[in-house]
Structure 1
């Protein structure tokens, strides 16, 4: 990234999705889809991504989303973290949220993927690209 910092800006990217159930397979599927959409919509390469925090609702505990994301090629040096979302009454069930920090070209608007039932969280950002 050295030498390109004048052309890039560190941006926060948000997103979320939901799982059909609290199983390893369902969480894997949801995380893979969410990460793929984040990468595709923002045309990210691994060297642009600084970190990603995954938060999950308390009803998802079958596995760690970060361990699934870490399987992506070239993601060995990306800081990944899991945490539990605040338990707020009426919150969306089986939800995985992300907060990613990535270097994007200055003239590029970040695209935030909200998928599955999580489209209700941010209807303004839930349309497909």
Structure 2
């Protein structure tokens, strides 16, 4: 089976700036990511989480590290650039992972974040022209 590095995007929104609300939203997002992409943390290279400036109760990476095998994944938390009128209380991720070249990538957009990328609501087929053996 041939493998290639792939990028997976996703986002969700949080009801309020509290540890509990952020944990709930990030857990839901990562559960959906793993289930829909049949992705294991051992296949991940890195994860960058970004949060809007109105979320500062907990780092999303701290939530992810508590998941089985996620503590060995390189993760970074950053603040999303603020643009007036943009979606509030939003957590985004960008994951780089090795996946089989035949695998579809499911970008995960939940809650109010679904309107950010309605074009990515379906699985994305990526050309297998670049691959890793």
Q: TM-score, normalised by structure 2?
A: 0.89
Partner SS for 1:92: coil
Instruction: Please tell me whether residue 99 in structure 1 is matched to residue 90 in structure 2.
Output: no
- 1 CA distance for matches of 2:113 and 2:92? 9
Instruction: Please tell me whether residue 42 in structure 1 is matched to residue 42 in structure 2.
Output: no
- What is the number of residues matched between the two proteins? 123
Instruction: Please tell me whether residue 55 in structure 1 is matched to residue 50 in structure 2.
Output: yes
Shift of the alpha carbon at 1:125? 2.0
Counterpart of 1:30 in structure 2 is 25
Find the partner of 2:85 among 81, 90, 107. 90
In the TM superposition, what whole-angstrom CA distance separates every residue of 1:64-107 from its partner, at most 9, and x where no partner exists? Answer: 01000001101121001100000101110000000001111101
**Aligned CA-pair RMSD:** 1.3
Partner SS for 2:35: helix
Counterpart of 1:15 in structure 2 is 10
**8 A contact 1:17–1:115 mirrored in 2:** yes
Instruction: Please tell me whether residue 113 in structure 1 is matched to residue 108 in structure 2.
Output: yes
- 2 CA distance for matches of 1:87 and 1:115? 20
- 2 CA distance for matches of 1:27 and 1:13? 20
Shift of the alpha carbon at 1:42? 0.6
**8 A contact 1:115–1:126 mirrored in 2:** no
Counterpart of 1:67 in structure 2 is 62
